Amino acid sequence: MSGFVFKQFKVEHDHCAMKVSTDGILLGAWANLSGAKSLLDIGTGTGLLALMCKQRSSELDITAVEIDESAYTQALQNVANSPWPTISITHQTIQSFSSEVKFDVVISNPPYFNHSLKGDNVARNTARHTDGLSFEELINAFKHLSHRGSRFSLILPSIEGALFIELATQNGLYLNTHCQVKATPNKDISRSLMTFSYVKSDIETSILCIRNLDNTYTADYIALCKAFYLKM
């Protein structure tokens, strides 16, 4: 079986450089969608985030952008085969994407490798490395496609997350919510789930542990993701 079966939809990912991952599932389940009517998914890949957000809020008008042609084609297929075929997917760079709509929520599971060695797979390199989409370009895309009340949610490894927070702050954005993720209680924090906006507030911080020491899912992770996992 090539795909990943969720409770309400299935995601095929055999033609995508970046497969369905815990990172994507975390962000799709965690992102703040309250009060939002429109959402933009930057670098949708398989379409996972767009589909998860549509399941969570069926009234959301969702647009997704993907640069890689194979991933774009697969995302189209995944959306067409889902209960929500109205999700709009565009094949282009986010740098060249424009919209009359200013989105209430922007979401992204972005590339984050800056200097690490690259493999031979060009599509995977594009999906994983910041050459094609730097953090600065990602922030500029949000600013270009948002309004004063918009929110921007993303997930990054914790070191890159710290860099992104610094850069976002320099660009007039404020970190509002920060959830630090650990694989197990005895592991270091490995991921940062972050929400930014134009509005300064006290930062709401939390720590989420995915698995207990016996490798079962924690109660917190189950509470976050049980609407999606088939066997949870």
How does pLDDT run across 101-111, given as a tens digit for each residue?
A: 999 999 999 87
Q: Please give the pLDDT value at position 203.
A: 97
Neighbouring-strand partners of residue 174: 197
Domain ranges of the chain: 7-110+133-226
Entry pTM: 0.90
Q: Which is more confidently placed, 129 or 155?
A: 155
DSSP-derived letter for residue 129 is: B
Average pLDDT on 63-73 reads 93
Token pair in block for residue 21: 């991952």
For residue range 126-147, list pLDDT tens digits in order: 444 445 678 999 999 999 999 9
Average pLDDT on 185-212 reads 97
pLDDT at residue 220 is higher than 60: yes
Round the CA-based radius of gyration of the chain to a whole number and report it.
Answer: 17
* Mean pLDDT computed over every residue of the chain: 90
Lowest mean pLDDT among 2-11, 145-154, 181-190, 202-211: 2-11
Q: Please give the pLDDT value at position 3.
A: 82
Distances (CA, A) of 3 to 8, 9, 10, 52, 55: 13, 10, 7, 15, 18
Q: Please give the pLDDT value at position 182.
A: 97
Q: Please give the pLDDT value at position 160.
A: 92
Q: Please give the pLDDT value at position 77.
A: 95
Q: Please give the pLDDT value at position 172.
A: 97
Q: What is the DSSP string of 130-162?
A: TTSS-HHHHHHHHHHTEEEEEEEEEEEEHHHHH
Please return the burial class of 51, using the count of CB atoms within 10 Å of its CB with bins 0-12, 13-18 and 19+. buried
pLDDT at residue 115 is higher than 50: no
Q: Please give the pLDDT value at position 113.
A: 52
Q: Check if CATH label 3.40.50.150 holds for domain 7-110+133-226.
A: yes
Length of the chain: 232
Average pLDDT on 206-229 reads 96
Q: Please give the pLDDT value at position 132.
A: 62
DSSP-derived letter for residue 55 is: H
